Chains A and B, each alone.
Chain A
Amino acid sequence: MRRVSFDLTGLPPSPEDITRFVNNTSESAYEEEVDRLLASVHYGEHMALDWMDLARYADTHGYTVDRYRDVSVWRDWVIASFNENRPYDEFVTWQMAGDMLPNATKEQILATTFNRLHPQNLEGGIVDEEFRSEYVSDRTNVMGQGLLGLTLACAKCHDHKYDPISQKNYYELYSFFNNVNETGQIPWDFSMPVPSLMLPTEKEEQFLAYVDSLVNTKETELEKVVQTEKQTAENWITDKKYQKINPQNKPKGLVVHYDFDRGRLYNKINPSQKGEMRTKFTRNEIPEFVKGYAGKGLKMDGDVYLDLDKLGIYRRHQAFSIGIRVFIPKDLEEGVIFHKMLGTRLHSYRGYHLNIKDNKFEILMAHVWPENAIVEETLDEVPREKWVHLTMTYDGSSKASGFKLFMDGVEMKTKIVHDNLYKDIVFNNYQDIIYDGPQEPGLKIGARWRGRGIGGAIVDDLTVYEKELTPLEVLQNSNPETLKVLSSKSPEQLSKAERDALTKYFMAQNSTSFQDKLNELKEIRSIQSDSTEKVKEVMVMKEMEEPRQAYILERGQYDALGEEVFPNTPDAVFAFSDTLPKNRLGLSKWIFDEKNPLTARVTVNRYWSKLFGTGLVKTVEDFGNQGELPSHPKLLDWLAVNFIESGWDVKALHKLMVLSATYRQSSLTTNEIKAMDPENRLLARGPALRLTGEMLRDNALLASGLLNDSIGGPSVRPYQPKGLWKINGSEYKPDSGEKLYRRSMYTIWKRSVPHPTIATFDAPDRSVCITRRQETNTPLQALVLLNDPTYIEASRVMGKNMLVFKDPNQAIENAFLRLTGRNPRKEELHLLAVLREEEYQKFKLKTTKAEGWLNTGEFRISSEDDKALVAANAVVASTIMNLDATIMKR
C-alpha cells in the first residue's frame, strides 16, 4: 500500500487508508486502492514532478545571475494534464508544437513553455549568438534524451561516435527549434524573455477588452472630428490665413531645443535644463564644438554622448517628435544617432532609438526586443558627407504605422521589420545593485553605453516636440525656406497634396476640438497601457514567419557555419515522411508515429524505472549503442505496443504496471537470490527504493498533519538556512504560515543554489534534462533528517499529536504507522517506548534541553501542553523519521 501510494501520488497512505485496505477482503481491494490513487489530484502532482526533471523545470533562469521568473502556470497545466489523463502523444505534441496547432488555444500555446525552460543568460557582455545557439541545442538534446532515448548531444560537434547519428542529422533536428524570435542575452531586469504569452486574469481580460473598445471608439471619434473640422480648414485655406505662417517660428509643442551656438549645452526653451557630455561611468566630459550647420555644432567621438537627463522620456502611448541635423561621415559603419535606453542588449533595447545600421536608418521602439517591439528601416541609404535634417515623428499608437521619418521635410519610405509592441518602453525608476539610484534614462545624443555611436559625425539643431508633428510642421522645423515657398502660394496654386498638408497643419496647430480629442485619445491609451503593463506573461514558443537558416556548426562552434541544413530526422530511426510539414508539428507527428521504434519504448521504460528503481533498459536516457540492452526485451516491446494501442493512456499504463504481480511482490528475499541478482534486474522480488527528497519531506508533513495540500500556483519558500543565496548575490526570504507546508515540488527551485532539504537527496538542479536520478547515501542526508527545521518542527507537531493517546504505546504505534506505513514490531515498540521514557525524564529534569525541539520552526505548542512530554515524543517521532523503515519503500 505504501509503495503504490508513494509511487502514484508521492504521498504515504494515511492510517485510515491502511485500515480500509486491510479490512477490505474482496479480491479487488488492491485495485480499488489503485483506482482511488489514480483518481486523486495528487497523482497529477506526482507525475508533474517527474516531468519537471525531464523538462528541466526551475524557478530561476540559471547561469550566473540566475534571476527568478515565474513559470508555474505551465506547471499547473502539466498537473492538470496528468489529472485529466491527457493522452501522452497529445501532452507532448502540445509542448512541442502547441503554438502551431490550428486555432491554437491559450492552453496549447502555454504548453510550449516546455521548450523555453532551458537556462538563459543575462550576463552583460556575452556573445548573443553563442547562447541563442545553445538554447536551440538544448531543445534538441532534451527531445533526444527525454523522448527518444538518444544521446543526440554527442552529435553536436562531430558525428556520433557510436550511434548512426551524423552531425548533419543533429543540425537537421536543431533546425526545427531554431525559428524563435529570441535572444541569447535576455533582459537584465525581471522582464519575461520573449516571445511571451499574455496571461490576463478573467477580470483583466474583461477590462482590457473594454479599454480596447474605448480606444477604438476614440480613434473613430477623432476621425469624425477631422471630418467636421474639414470645412473650417477649407475656409482657413481659402482665407489665405496660411500665408501668415511664419517660417521662422517653431511649431507648437516644442520642449527641447539645442543649437550649440553659444558653445554651451543647455535647453533654449528652459535654460535651467542643462545637458552633459558623458559616458555611463565618466561625467562632465569636454564637448567638442565645431562648425555646425548654422553657427556651432557638436562633434561626436562615438563613445561620449550628450545626456539630456530627464528630457525625452515618453511612454508608448505618448506622441512625440525628435528632429536633428546631422553630418554623417562616409566611413561610419554603424552608430546610434539618438536614443532613450539603458544600454543596448542589457535591457533588450527597452526605449526607442534612431540608429544607422547596414547603411540604412533604423527606427526602434521596444519593451523587450526583438519580439515585443517595433522595428522599421528606411529603403533609402544613409546620405554621407553632407548635412541632413532628420525628423522622427510618432503618434502614440504603439504601431509601426505610427512612426514616420522625414529627411529635410520629405517623408522617407520605410519597410516594417517587426510590428508587435504590446508593453511599455520605460523603466519606472528601476533599481538594481549595479546602478546608482533609480533608473529612468532620458534622451541621449550621438553614442550609447555598450553600443556604437556616430563617431566622426557632427550634430546640430536638436528639437523635441511633445506631439506628433504633421508634415508641414516638420518642414517648418527643418526646412523653413521650403515652407516659405508654399506659404507664398495663392490658394488656387496649391496642389492637392499641399492642401492636405495645410489641412493637417490647421488641425494640429489651430483646431482646439482636434487637439482636445487627441488628448482624450492619449488619456485612453494611457489607461490601456497601464492595464496591459500589469498583465502577467510567460515565455512560449512562437515560430518566426521566415524560418532562420540553420547550418552545421563546425565542431559545434556557434560561429563556424558549415553546410546549410533543413528540418529532417535521422533515417536510422525512421524516415521523415514527405507528407509531414517540415516544422515542429510535423516533428511531433514523427515522434508519435507508430513506426517510430523509440518513443513508446523509451516512455514505458522510464515509467517502469520510476516504479522498479531500474528500467528494463537500465540506461533510461540512452537506447543507443553505448546504452544497455533491455533485461526483458519482449516485455518492453509488449508494454510499448500496448501503450500506443491504448491511445497513449498514461493512467492505464500505470495501472497495468502497479497491478502486475511483479510489482506487487514483496521485496523480502533470500540471500541466494540477492547474490545471483544484486540489482534485481530479473525481478524476482519487489522493488525496495529510497524515498526521494520530496517524498521524505511530504511524508513528514502529512504524517504530522502540517501538510498544506493545495494544488498548483507559484513556488513557495520553506525554511532554509540563512544566507545560502548570498553567494549568488540575492537574499532568501522564507514564507510563513501555510506556504511553509506546501508539497515539496512547489519549493522554489533556484538553479545556482537548489534547496538543500531536497537537493541533498539527489534532486537535480534542473539546469539540464534528467531522466534518471542518482540514489546515494551520504552523511549530509543524515544531517538533514536529523536537524533540518522542517523535520524538527514536524517531529514536534507529531509529538503534540501523540498527547491525545493516554497509552504511550498507542501513541508510538500511531506515529510509527503514519511515518512508516506499518505497525512497529514488538522489539521496535519496546525500544521506542524506552527511549521516550528516558527522554521524558531527562526533559523533566532539565527543561532547557527541550528548547530547540520546541522552538525550531513556526509551530508552537500551547502553554497547557506538557513541554517535556511533547519534546520526548518529538525525539521519538524524529527517531522514527530517521529509520530505514521510513526512508525506504519496501
Chain B
Amino acid sequence: MCDGHDKLRSNNKDLQEVEKQWDRRHFLTKTSLGIGAMALSSLLKTQDVLGKTTVNPNNVTVEGFLKNGLGLPHHLPKVKRIVYLFQSGGPSQLDMFDYKPKLQEMFGENLPESVRQGQRLTAMSAQQSVFPIAPTIMDFKQYGESRAWVSELLPETAKVVDDICFIKSMQTEQINHDPAITFMQTGHQLPGRPSIGSWLSYGLGSDNENLPTFITLITKGQGGQPLYSRLWGNGFLPTEHQGVQFRSGKDPVLYLSDPENYDGNDRRKMLDYLGKLNEVQHDAYGDPEIVARMKQYEMAFRMQTSVPEVTDLSDEPDYIFDMYGKESREPGTYAANCLMARKLLEKGVKFVQLYHQGWDQHIFCPGGVRNKCKQTDRGGAALLKDLKQRGMLEDTLVIWGGEFGRTVYSQGQLTKTNYGRDHHPKAFTMWMAGAGVKKGFTYGETDDFSYNVIKDPVHIHDFHATLMHLFGIDHERFTFKHQGRRFRLTDVHGHVVKDLLA
C-alpha cells in the first residue's frame, strides 16, 4: 500500500518534503479503496471458511471473475452490447403506447389544475388561456400474450411486444430539447459530461480491435431539432472514448478513404515506410509514445477495411431486406441504420446508437407522429427479430425512446382530427428488450391523463443506473476524478430498477 514512499527520489530537502506529502496523500487516497478491498477480501475469506460461496449484493458469484484494471465489472454482466434507438424530439406516448381511453370523453375540457399541480410549462404553451384535453385519434389494441397496448401507428412493433419491456413511467425534469437530450445522454442537463457510450467504453473497453467501441448512426435528411457531437462526446474522459459517427456515403468515418485511386496496397506500403522511419526515431529517443502512435496508424489502416466492410450492406440476403423494409436498401435511412446496427453488434461494437430526428410534434401531431412511426416502426421491430433469430438477444440490449414525452393538452387549436402537443417531462414511455430485462412486460403506470406517474416512476438517473447494472457495473462505484470531484454517470442519484430485471 505504501508504494514508493520509503524510497525518496530526490536529494533536495524541500522536494523530499513534498514527496513525503505526495505519498501520504496517495496513501490516503488509495487507502480508502485499499481498506475497502481488504475488507472485501477478508469477508470473502471468512465466507470461504464457512464453506459458502462468496456472494455480492447482486447474488451472483464473482469468484474467478476477470476484472480489468478499473476493477470492472463489479458483478456478472448480463449485457455485452447495446443498441439505443434514440427518437429525438420527444415522441408522443399518448398516440403510440400509453392507452388512455377515459380521455375520449373529455375532449376539449380544460386540463384540471389538480392534474397539472402548477408544473412548469415551456414558454411556448405557458401563455395559452386554456389547456384543452386532446385525446388521441389513434386506435389502440392489445397484442401478444402480454396483452400490451399499442396504437395503430406501430403494427410491426405490435408483433414483437412479447419480447419488449415497456416503461410507461419514465420521468425527467427538462422541458426543452437541449437540456433534455443532454440529460438523457450524459446524466446532466448541461454540456461537459461524457455520454453513456463513453462511460461504457472507458469502463469496459472494446471487444473489437478494428472498430470504434461506440458508434453513432444518424438518419439522413431528417429535419427537426438539431443534434450536436457532444451528445456522443467523451466529456472529460480521454478522447479515445468518444462516439464515432458513421455517416452514410463514401466515408463513413471522416477521412477514411485514401486519396482517389490510391488503394489499400499503396497505403500499406507507405505505412510500412512510416513504420521503419519511426523505428529510427524510436531508436534515437526510446519514447514508448512512438510505438503507441504507430499502433494507432495500424488501427486506422485496419479501419479502412473493417469499416467499409461492416457498412456495406449489399451482401445481405433479400429476406433480410424484406424484413427491415425496402427502405433498408437505401443508405442513411432508419431501416438501413437498424440493419447496420445489427452488423456492428455482430462485430462486437459495444454501443451502437441510432438517432432519428423529427418527433417534435408541437403542431399537426397526428400526421407528424404517423409519419415518424412509418419511418421507424419496421426497422426497429426487424432489428429485434434479427437479433433474436441470431441468438444475440440473449446478451444484447435494445433500447427505444426519446428525451421526454408530450402533453395531454393541445398546444394551439384543437379539432376533432388535429391537435398539437407540447413537451412533457413528467411521464413518458420508453422500451427495452433483450438481455437482462423482463420480456412481455409493462413497468410503471401513469394517471388517466398520461400526465403524472402514479406507480413505479423511473427517473432518467434510475434508467442509467439500471443500464450500468446490466453491464455488470455498480453505478455508484464507477467514477472518474475530474476537477477534484469523482463524477459518475448517475451524478449523485439513481437506483437500479430491480423489478424490470429478468
From residue 334 to 363 of chain B, which have CB atoms closer than 8 A to chain A? 355, 363
- Which chain B residues lie closer than 8 Å to A301 at the CB level? 129
- Which chain B residues lie closer than 8 Å to A765 at the CB level? 229-230, 233
Give complex CA distance A162, B276 in Å: 50
Are the C-beta atoms of B280 and A827 separated by less than 8 Å?
yes
Are the C-beta atoms of B123 and A787 separated by less than 8 Å?
no
Give complex CA distance A782, B9 in Å: 37
Decide yes or no: A883 and B259 within 8 Å by CB, A66-B228, A128-B123 being known contacts: no
| A809 CB-CB contact with B under 8 Å | no
- Which chain B residues lie closer than 8 Å to A32 at the CB level? none
Are the C-beta atoms of A728 and B227 separated by less than 8 Å?
yes
Stretch at the interface among B159-167, B290-298, B393-401, B448-456: B290-298
From residue 865 to 881 of chain A, which have CB atoms closer than 8 A to chain B? 875, 878-879
| B299 CB-CB contact with A under 8 Å | yes
From residue 150 to 183 of chain B, which have CB atoms closer than 8 A to chain A? 175-178
Give the shortest distance, in Å, between B1 (CB) and chain A (any CB): 20
Decide yes or no: A629 and B223 within 8 Å by CB, A125-B175, A767-B191 being known contacts: no
| B253 CB-CB contact with A under 8 Å | yes
Are the C-beta atoms of B177 and A123 separated by less than 8 Å?
yes
Give complex CA distance A282, B15 in Å: 75
From residue 270 to 310 of chain B, which have CB atoms closer than 8 A to chain A? 270, 273-274, 276-278, 280-282, 284-287, 289-290, 292-293, 296-297, 299-300, 303
| A516 CB-CB contact with B under 8 Å | no
| A849 CB-CB contact with B under 8 Å | yes
| A788 CB-CB contact with B under 8 Å | yes
- Which chain A residues lie closer than 8 Å to B175 at the CB level? 125, 127
From residue 779 to 806 of chain A, which have CB atoms closer than 8 A to chain B? 779-784, 786-788, 792
**Per-position contact with A for B228-272: 1 when CB-CB < 8 Å, else 0?**
111001000011100010010101011111111111001101100
Give complex CA distance A860, B284 in Å: 38
- Which chain B residues lie closer than 8 Å to A848 at the CB level? 261
Are the C-beta atoms of A852 and B273 separated by less than 8 Å?
no
Task: Pick from A281, A776, A825, A850: contact of B240, CB below 8 A.
Answer: A776
Give complex CA distance A185, B130 in Å: 24
Stretch at the interface among A68-76, A519-527, A674-682: A674-682
Q: Which residue of A lies closest to B121 (CB)?
A: A125
- Which chain A residues lie closer than 8 Å to B55 at the CB level? none
Are the C-beta atoms of A779 and B296 separated by less than 8 Å?
yes
From residue 61 to 117 of chain A, which have CB atoms closer than 8 A to chain B? 62-66
Q: Which residue of B lies closest to A850 (CB)?
A: B261
- Which chain A residues lie closer than 8 Å to B191 at the CB level? 62, 119, 767-768
Q: Which residue of B lies closest to A626 (CB)?
A: B484
Task: Pick from B21, B225, B227, B239: contact of A778, CB below 8 A.
Answer: B239
- Which chain A residues lie closer than 8 Å to B287 at the CB level? 688, 884, 888
Are the C-beta atoms of A779 and B300 separated by less than 8 Å?
yes
Are the C-beta atoms of B18 and A629 separated by less than 8 Å?
yes
Are the C-beta atoms of A151 and B483 separated by less than 8 Å?
yes
**Per-position contact with A for B1-26: 1 when CB-CB < 8 Å, else 0?**
00000000110001100100110010
Task: Pick from A345, A727, A783, A890: contact of B254, CB below 8 A.
Answer: A783
Give complex CA distance A301, B130 in Å: 9
| B194 CB-CB contact with A under 8 Å | no
Give complex CA distance A168, B58 in Å: 41
Are the C-beta atoms of A787 and B178 separated by less than 8 Å?
no
Task: Pick from B22, B190, B262: contact of A629, CB below 8 A.
Answer: B22
Decide yes or no: A835 and B226 within 8 Å by CB, A629-B22, A856-B259 being known contacts: no
| B127 CB-CB contact with A under 8 Å | yes
- Which chain A residues lie closer than 8 Å to B430 at the CB level? none
Most buried by A among B228, B266, B281: B228
Give complex CA distance A284, B9 in Å: 84
Q: Which residue of B lies closest to A285 (CB)?
A: B413
Are the C-beta atoms of A753 and B130 separated by less than 8 Å?
no
Give the shortest distance, in Å, between B173 (CB) and chain A (any CB): 10
Give the shortest distance, in Å, between A165 (CB) and chain B (any CB): 11
Chain A interface SS verdict (over half): loop
Are the C-beta atoms of A786 and B261 separated by less than 8 Å?
no
**Per-position contact with B for A662-674: 1 when CB-CB < 8 Å, else 0?**
0000011001001
Give complex CA distance A885, B285 in Å: 10
Give complex CA distance A206, B249 in Å: 53
Give complex CA distance A871, B312 in Å: 30
| B423 CB-CB contact with A under 8 Å | yes
| B142 CB-CB contact with A under 8 Å | no
| B128 CB-CB contact with A under 8 Å | yes
**Per-position contact with A for B203-236: 1 when CB-CB < 8 Å, else 0?**
0000000000000001001010111111001000
| A699 CB-CB contact with B under 8 Å | no
Are the C-beta atoms of A782 and B297 separated by less than 8 Å?
yes
Are the C-beta atoms of B484 and A619 separated by less than 8 Å?
yes
From residue 467 to 484 of chain B, which have CB atoms closer than 8 A to chain A? 481, 483-484
Q: Which residue of A lies closest to B233 (CB)?
A: A765
Q: Which residue of A lies closest to B249 (CB)?
A: A723
Give complex CA distance A124, B253 in Å: 33
Stretch at the interface among A383-391, A397-405, A445-453: A445-453
Are the C-beta atoms of B270 and A779 separated by less than 8 Å?
no
Q: Which residue of A lies closest to B238 (CB)?
A: A776
Decide yes or no: A622 and B483 within 8 Å by CB, A723-B247, A778-B240, A788-B255 being known contacts: yes
- Which chain B residues lie closer than 8 Å to A626 at the CB level? 481, 483-485
**Per-position contact with A for B405-427: 1 when CB-CB < 8 Å, else 0?**
00000001100000010110000
Are the C-beta atoms of A825 and B280 separated by less than 8 Å?
yes
Give the shortest distance, in Å, between A310 (CB) and chain B (any CB): 24
Are the C-beta atoms of B127 and A452 separated by less than 8 Å?
yes
| A490 CB-CB contact with B under 8 Å | no
Are the C-beta atoms of B259 and A852 separated by less than 8 Å?
yes
Give complex CA distance A451, B223 in Å: 26
Give the shortest distance, in Å, between B208 (CB) and chain A (any CB): 13
Are the C-beta atoms of B228 and A64 separated by less than 8 Å?
yes
- Which chain A residues lie closer than 8 Å to B286 at the CB level? 671, 674
Give complex CA distance A422, B164 in Å: 60
Q: Which residue of B lies closest to A160 (CB)?
A: B484
| A721 CB-CB contact with B under 8 Å | yes
Stretch at the interface among A236-244, A266-274, A631-639, A646-654: A631-639
Task: Pick from B266, B281, B363: contact of A849, CB below 8 A.
Answer: B266
Give complex CA distance A624, B175 in Å: 35
| B70 CB-CB contact with A under 8 Å | no
Are the C-beta atoms of A780 and B226 separated by less than 8 Å?
no
Are the C-beta atoms of A281 and B483 separated by less than 8 Å?
no
Give the shortest distance, in Å, between A448 (CB) and chain B (any CB): 8
Are the C-beta atoms of B257 and A883 separated by less than 8 Å?
no
Are the C-beta atoms of A162 and B484 separated by less than 8 Å?
yes
Give complex CA distance A688, B273 in Å: 23
Are the C-beta atoms of B10 and A682 separated by less than 8 Å?
yes
Give complex CA distance A850, B259 in Å: 8
Are the C-beta atoms of A63 and B266 separated by less than 8 Å?
no
Are the C-beta atoms of A281 and B292 separated by less than 8 Å?
no
Give complex CA distance A631, B10 in Å: 12
- Which chain B residues lie closer than 8 Å to A676 at the CB level? 9
- Which chain B residues lie closer than 8 Å to A622 at the CB level? 483-484
- Which chain A residues lie closer than 8 Å to B124 at the CB level? 124-125, 450
Q: Which residue of B lies closest to A302 (CB)?
A: B129
Are the C-beta atoms of A786 and B239 separated by less than 8 Å?
no
Are the C-beta atoms of B14 and A634 separated by less than 8 Å?
yes
State the 8 A-B residue pairs at the shortest beta-carbon distance, nearest first. Answer: A852-B259, A626-B484, A752-B228, A852-B260, A125-B122, A302-B129, A782-B300, A125-B124
Between-chain CB contacts (< 8 Å), 8 pairs: A125-B123, A125-B124, A127-B122, A455-B129, A625-B484, A626-B481, A682-B15, A784-B254
Binding site for A on B (CB under 8 A): 9-10, 14-15, 18, 21-22, 25, 120, 122-124, 127-130, 175-178, 190-192, 218, 221, 223, 225-230, 233, 238-240, 244, 247, 249, 251, 253-263, 266-267, 269-270, 273-274, 276-278, 280-282, 284-287, 289-290, 292-293, 296-297, 299-300, 303, 355, 363-364, 412-413, 420, 422-423, 481, 483-485
Given contacts A783-B255, A852-B261, A853-B259, 6 further A-B contacts (CB under 8 A): A123-B177, A124-B123, A145-B483, A151-B484, A633-B18, A784-B254
